[in-house]
Structure 1
Amino acid sequence: MVECVVKNWQGEEAGTASLDLRTAKEENAAHIVHRALVRQMNNARQGNACTKTRAEVSGGGRKPWRQKGTGRARAGSIRSPLWRGGGVIFGPKPRDYSVKMNRKERRLALRTALQGRADDLIVVEDFSSQLPRPKTKEVVAALSRWGVGAEQTALLIVAERDENVYLSVRNISSIKMISAANLNVFDLLTADKIIATASAIAKVQEVYGE
């Protein structure tokens, strides 16, 4: 179980929140999280790179010159891979890079990754009421009060998307906002800091707690 201090909009302590998730055993944790990360990155690949072989390149039906007597090397087609504009040898073709992983393993990896970042987790009170209209400057000031450095990247986890919060955050290149229902291993591992609202922590505990 992880006990977290909840901070208010001004950056002051306003209570505590607990996160108790079933995680992988220590000797297997890195392996299962790595598998989930590789799966997510592979499944994001389009796999649509395509090159043409000498059979697919247009032209080349006629032998460029006769076999003997010219003094030049023999050539059978201007679309040979040795020629400029010819086919490609062993080039990429469209393929499916997706990797399968059991749902229970995926959820276990996600829980393990989240609880493993407990030292970088910052829990704050829901602050949508503090933004009656979109205001990026106020969010930047709040991030500083919460302990997020100017050069650090952060993942903001909210229970439900609020339009004013989204519009205030979207222009901050170092911040990515996602809902608790869209948690993923890649975002959890790549952010320097993880900021979660108290309601988001409660939702994560409800959805992923077992």
Structure 2
Amino acid sequence: MLTVPVYNTNGDQVGEIELREDVFGVPPHIHVLHEAVVWQLARRRRGTHDTKTRGEVRGGGRKPWRQKGTGRARHGSIRSPIWRKGGIVFGPHPRDYSYRLPKKVRRLAMRSALSAKVRDGKLVVLDELKLEQPRTKEMIRILGNLKVNEKALVVTAQPEENVFKSARNIPGVKPTVADSLNVYDLLAHPTLVITKEAVARVQEVFAP
């Protein structure tokens, strides 16, 4: 079992916690992490881009000049793709970019990302994280006590409204809950700040 220290909001170590090696101690799979990030970003794409074909561009219904006798090339519409302001031949149209990634691959990617945090010493476990009222200054103080001076992902087991409101205005800090944890956020934020309850939830969900 892996053992990491547990801190309070003042930055003092108040104990230790054992982490499951099959969740926080697996060798990182770089290819699987890449696959998970590409899949996640593809699902986020709206796919609303659209270009007009020659049949959708306004105008161009009348033949610009007669077929023969002008000395110019024959044309049937000024909205032909070879004309300026004409239609687009193979332009993008609305589509769904999402695709299916096997569940085992997604779970392995999560375990790889979590294990990388432990290996790099970027996992900070809190005994609890609760605020009586939303105060950004208080959240900045807590992160300062934990010596977190870079982009961080703050994870709680249950939705904590005061924590969310206090952290969302801090540049580079993203609050979330254990059930919404994903590979992209883990890789985008160097430091993972997580509560003991959230660790238990993560181990429960992502254990093989």
Report the TM-score when normalising by structure 1: 0.89
Within-5 A mapping of 1:108-127: 108-118=108-118, 119-127=121-129
1:152-197: CA deviation from partner (whole Å, max 9, x where unpaired): 2110110011111111112112111111011111001110211101
Amino acid at match of 2:58: S
For the 8 Å contact 2:158–2:177, the answer to whether it is kept is yes
Secondary structure in structure 2 of the residue aligned to 1:147: coil
In the alignment, which residue of structure 2 is the partner of 1:183?
A: 181
Query: Would you say 1:89 and 2:89 are equivalent positions?
Result: yes
Secondary structure in structure 1 of the residue aligned to 2:174: strand
Within-5 A mapping of 1:69-84: 69-84=69-84
The more displaced of 195-204 and 64-73 is 64-73
Unpaired segments ≥5 residues, structure 2: none
Alignment: residue pair count: 205
2:72, 2:12 → 1: CA distance?
A: 83
Same amino acid, percent of matched pairs: 46
Query: Would you say 1:53 and 2:76 are equivalent positions?
Result: no
For the 8 Å contact 1:21–1:205, the answer to whether it is kept is no
Query: Would you say 1:165 and 2:163 are equivalent positions?
Result: yes
Report the TM-score when normalising by structure 2: 0.90
Amino acid at match of 1:190: A
Within-5 A mapping of 1:1-210: 1-22=1-22, 26=27, 29-118=29-118, 119-128=121-130, 131-149=131-149, 152-210=150-208
Unpaired segments ≥5 residues, structure 1: none
| Structure 1 residue 75, shift from structure 2 partner | 2.4
1:51, 1:59 → 2: CA distance?
A: 16
2:129, 2:77 → 1: CA distance?
A: 69
Structure 1 segments (4+ residues) deviating >6 Å? none
RMSD: 1.9
